[in-house]
Amino acid sequence: MSVTEDEKQHSTELEPARLSAFFDGVCAIAITLLVLNIHIPEISCMQGRCQRSLMAELLTQWPNYTSFLLSFALVGVVWLNHHSLLSYVKKTNHVLNVLNLLLLLDVVLLPYPAALIASYIGTSEQQTAILVYSCVWFLGSICFNLIWWYIVRTPRLRDPLVSPTELKRVSRLYLLGPLTSGAGVICSLFWQGVPGLVLCSCIVVFYLLPVMDRNNQKKERLSHNLEKKGETVTNTRTY
């Protein structure tokens, strides 16, 4: 008995739980590595008296704190939105897994540009550091949109309760990522980089808002309406 191509495709489709667990683990490691950019100040002390103030040394590390908080929020945003994205997915396949690996490549790369910002912000080379950071954020938003684009165009992997109107609305929300971070890259090319960093920060704050929660509520309402319609049809047939 021969196996059709359609049957082969369905045989490689799995529940998204394993993909979600792997993604969670990588994000947890990446977000932990960010703290390595914050170092304990080294102060020479003789007979219990230190030559410099510890508070002053801690305050001089403000670039490290800034890059840590921004990068922590960025990885957190990726994790939150990926969690929401998978709520639209019923099955995964090889292509979807590969696209997720590309996004993870960007996630694990984040500690590097974060370290660049911590080292060079406030110097003559801060523009290059922020440019690298903006480029990594831009590539991540492109990868995220590729994942969503593939889900939208592969109905068999998608939750059937999601309406086409909802898919379009979410697509527009995700498109803000590459548009804003792309503008950040352009700003970083022609200015000292601060406008680019501000744009990346703004889009991080936007995606921290519970936008996707409202989408899930709509899914629940749609599911409830379908169940009510099913009950109505059943009752009608009974009579």
Each residue's pLDDT expressed in tens, for the chain with a length of 239 residues: 444 545 445 545 677 888 889 999 999 998 888 888 788 877 777 666 777 788 888 888 888 888 788 888 888 888 988 988 888 889 899 999 999 999 999 998 888 888 888 788 888 888 888 889 889 989 999 999 999 999 999 888 888 888 888 888 888 888 888 898 888 888 888 877 678 888 878 888 888 877 655 455 555 555 555 555 554 444 545 44
Which domain covers residue 89, as residue numbers? Answer: 15-38+50-210
Distance CA 160, CA 171 (A): 17
pLDDT for 102? 93
Contact 85, 166 (CB under 8 A): no
Residue 228 falls inside a structural domain = no
What is the structure's pLDDT at 3? 45
Q: Which of 78, 179, 98, 173 is closest to 134 using CA atoms?
A: 179
Note whether residue 155 is domain-resident. Answer: yes
Q: How many domains does the chain have?
A: 1
Evaluate whether residue 235 is within a structural domain.
no
For residues 202 and 184, give the distance between their C-alpha atoms in angstroms, rounded to a whole number: 10
Residue 141 forms beta bridges with which residues? none
pLDDT of residue 47: 65
Residue 80: inside a domain, yes or no? Answer: yes
The pLDDT of residue 54 is 81
Tell me, yes or no, whether 160 lies in a domain.
yes
Token couple for 135: 């480029």
Using alpha carbons, select from 30, 33, 95, 77 the residue that is nearest to residue 180.
77
